[in-house]
Structure formats: structure tokens, C-alpha cells
Structure 1
Amino acid sequence: MSSIVDSRFSMELEEKEYELCGHPVKITMFKGASLGVSSYVWGPGLVLCRYFEAEKIDFTGKKVIELGSGTGIVGILAVLLGGDVTMTDRSDVLKQIEYNLIANVPLSSRHRTKIRALEWGNDQHKFPADFDIVLGSDLVYSPSQFSKLLQTLLHFCNDNTIMYLCSDVKYREGSARFHDKLLPEKFSSELIHTSGSSCVFKVTKKVPGDEY
């Protein structure tokens, strides 16, 4: 794994250890790589992981894509829970995801993983639209990105897709508006879990006749 870490910031790595769904998970944050918000494990990501734990979610046999993977903690857990998982983020974040995936996912399970760059609103059409599950944590923090995020979610949400989105609706700019107004215009959205100001929403394709 050392070849993944650029020597310029190898001394600026921060590790945190977690126990998630019975799996020990060690996450390394590339604090010296100028990744901005992507180099942190944020509360909504942990809340989503704990939701999977509490509900005993099993991703076995499911085709999963995670948007805005960041450190990779949510996507890695989905792999450990049996999913066939594609983890996505900006191109400059992919080495961090790869580092953490290698550190936590056994070699025997890595054939069920992919890491790819995805720029919301621009290249989602390079991806198939046949995913069973879409995961996203702390995606809703910049109103300037809401339109692009919605375009991306629409691409991936087919008739049978379930999306689990976890957002901090109090401390992220525009998050409450996104979930209360913008998301329901395009999708069926149900609040299924809260922890502090983090809320987990179960989102599906809107069908004719849905009312809010």
C-alpha cells in the first residue's frame, strides 16, 4: 500500500479505528493531500453505517454504487456485508479510497469492488443504470451542486433501486431544503432514521400518483 501514498504527505496521515457490523475497520485519512472535505470521516457516514448495523442490512447479491465515497468507510462496509460495490468520487480522491479498501477488504472479496471517478451532472451516463442500491452520506452540503446531484441520482434510480442517503440537515447549508422540497419533487423519500442532526432517508423512484 505504501506506493499509493505520495511521499509529500505520507507524514500527514491520520488513522481511526471502528467496529462496524462486527468488522474491525481502520480508516486512513490523507490529511496532507489537499482533498478538502473528502479527507474526513463525517458524522453522516458513521450514522449510515450504524443504521446498517442496527437493521442487520445484508448486501449479498446486490449491485451497489456509492456516491462521494471520500474515505470509503460506507462503501467498504457494504463490501464486507456482501455487496458488489462501485465506489466513486473525484479523481483526486481515488487513491485514498483504494488505500482504505486494500487495508480492510480481504483479497478474496476484492473482485466485488470497483473504484471509479464520477463527476456529478457530467459523466454519470458513463455508468450503467442497473444498480440495486445507491449509497450517499454527507453529499448535501453545497447548494451549487444540488442540480448536478439530482441529475446523477435520477440516472442511477431505476424502478427497483433503493437509495440510502444520510445528511446532516441542521449544519449543512441547504440540506433541509434539499430533502424537504427538492428531493420529493423527483423521488419518493422517507425519513427512516435519525441520530442527532443526521437523518437517513430511503429514496425510490417516484411513480405516477405519488402525493406529498
Structure 2
Amino acid sequence: MAEREGSVEPELPLAAGLFADSFPEEARFRFCGHRLSIAQRFGARLGVAAPVWDAALSLCGYFEQQQLDFGGKRVIELGAGTGVVGILAALLGGDVTITDLPLALEQIQCNVRANVPPAGRARVRALRWGQDQELFPDDFDLVLGADIVYLEPEFPQLLATLQHLCGPRGTVLLAAKMREEHGTGRFFHCLLPRAFHVELVQCDQEQNIHIYRATPRGAGPPA
């Protein structure tokens, strides 16, 4: 059972400037028997990368409900923000690469140091969708993302990045708040199916958060 200690998630801001006053905040969570202490550095510099979004917690909860085993798996998280999803994957045995834009890396590194023991395998790297993906392997077992589908102009770059990272046999798990005004549904229902078999594996109607599982079309339909 997941335990959450922290403030209620704010609605997704339209501009980083909404976080005008910089201040740190720590949130504590418990998933899969692990206690997580996650720093959030609210301020104009990090903007939407600062908080732990509810979609990230839904994805962590999905790991727990499904009793997912990350042992021996090569995992990458996109648009990590605080890194909570990738950190949990590392604690569950994954060899994890946690990525975001350069400005968010310091916050992620701080959280990795605070939560992942030295024996854990979690590295932090910058990844700009549609630009840097070729610098990364093309055969990750799992590609993770939480609330990263909200800027329509970036949808083609995100899709290209997912295609590269998965290779022919990888699996994508994406959790998203379904914001109609941001075209989130269009990405999952129209764009992602062009390259992937897409399956809705969890629907939280109260929070309007969906979790999708996707596998490359060349790999056959999801099991």
C-alpha cells in the first residue's frame, strides 16, 4: 500500500514564471516497501520540473500494484523532474538512466543521492527530445514517463525519442493527466499508435490520470 506525505499537486502551470518565489520543499512517500524523500525546488528556474506530479505517483503505485520486477532490466525515464519514478525503478533492481533538460539535473541528482544507496544503479543525464536521443542506446527494456505529454509542438520529437530508445523489443509505460486543452488524448489515441501497439492499463477517473503501455509495432501486439 502506497503512503503519501506531502502537499496536494497543483494544476500544471502554463508558464514557469508562475513559480516566481523560490523555495524548497520535501515530500515523503512509501512505495513497494521503500521510503522516499524527494526534494522539490520550486522557483522560476525549474518551473514545472520542480514538483512531484500526481501522474508520477500513479505510475509508482502501478509498479507496486503489479509487483513489477526491474531486476536485470535497462530502464530510462524521460522528463523526470524530481526523478521519483526512476529512483523507485532503481530501488526495485533496475539499471536506470534518469533524464530531463539540463536545468533539472541538479534536483534529480540530489534526490538520487538521498534515496539510492551506493550499490544502486541510477545515473542522471540530459536528454532533449528529438535532439539527443541518438547519444543513448536504442535497446532499453523499459522507457518510463509521467506527465510528459502536455506540449503539442513537442509531440513529434517525443515520439521520435520513444521510437529510438525502445528499439524493436522495448516497452513504454507512460502515465498522464488527460488534459484536453493540451492535446494529451490526441497523442495517445492518434500519434503514438502510428509506431506502437498502445494499451490503456489503468484509468483513475477521479484524478483523470491514465497509464498506457506501448510496444513497438514490429514486436507484435502486447502480451
TM over 0.5: yes
- Pick closer, same or farther for the CA change 1:50–1:65 going to 2, 3 Å: same
Once the two structures are superposed, residues 12-57 of structure 1 have per-residue CA deviations (whole angstroms, 9 ceiling, x without a partner) of 2100100111110011001136111000111110100000000001
Map of 1:150 onto structure 2: 159
TM-score normalised by length of structure 2:
0.85
CA apart distance, 1:58 = 0.9
* Separation (CA, whole Å) in 2 of partners of 1:132 and 1:156: 9
Q: What are the within-5 Å matches in structure 2 for residues 107-122 of structure 1?
A: 107-109=118-120, 112-122=121-131
Map of 2:89 onto structure 1: 78
1:23 aligns with 2:34: yes
Map of 1:159 onto structure 2: 168
Number of equivalenced pairs: 198
Q: What are the within-5 Å matches in structure 2 for residues 1-212 of structure 1?
A: 12-32=23-43, 34-109=45-120, 112-170=121-179, 173-196=182-205, 197-207=208-218
* Separation (CA, whole Å) in 2 of partners of 1:183 and 1:89: 20
* Separation (CA, whole Å) in 2 of partners of 1:108 and 1:178: 37
CA apart distance, 1:108 = 2.1
* Separation (CA, whole Å) in 1 of partners of 2:181 and 2:106: 26
* CA RMSD in angstroms, aligned pairs only: 1.6
* Separation (CA, whole Å) in 2 of partners of 1:171 and 1:208: 30
Q: Identity across aligned pairs (percent)?
A: 46
Q: Give ranges in structure 2 of 5+ residues lacking alignment.
A: 1-21
- Pick closer, same or farther for the CA change 1:33–1:66 going to 2, 3 Å: same
* Separation (CA, whole Å) in 2 of partners of 1:208 and 1:42: 31
Structure with greater contact order relative to length (CA < 8 Å, sep ≥ 6):
1
* Separation (CA, whole Å) in 1 of partners of 2:157 and 2:66: 31
Which runs of at least 4 in structure 1 moved beyond 4 Å after TM superposition? none
> Does structure 2 conserve the Cα–Cα contact (< 8 Å) formed by 1:72 and 1:101?
yes
Once the two structures are superposed, residues 63-87 of structure 1 have per-residue CA deviations (whole angstroms, 9 ceiling, x without a partner) of 0011011000000000010000000
* Separation (CA, whole Å) in 2 of partners of 1:48 and 1:36: 21
Q: Give ranges in structure 1 of 5+ residues lacking alignment.
A: 1-10
> Does structure 1 conserve the Cα–Cα contact (< 8 Å) formed by 2:77 and 2:97?
yes
Map of 2:15 onto structure 1: none
Once the two structures are superposed, residues 66-112 of structure 1 have per-residue CA deviations (whole angstroms, 9 ceiling, x without a partner) of 10110000000000100000000001100000000111111222xx1
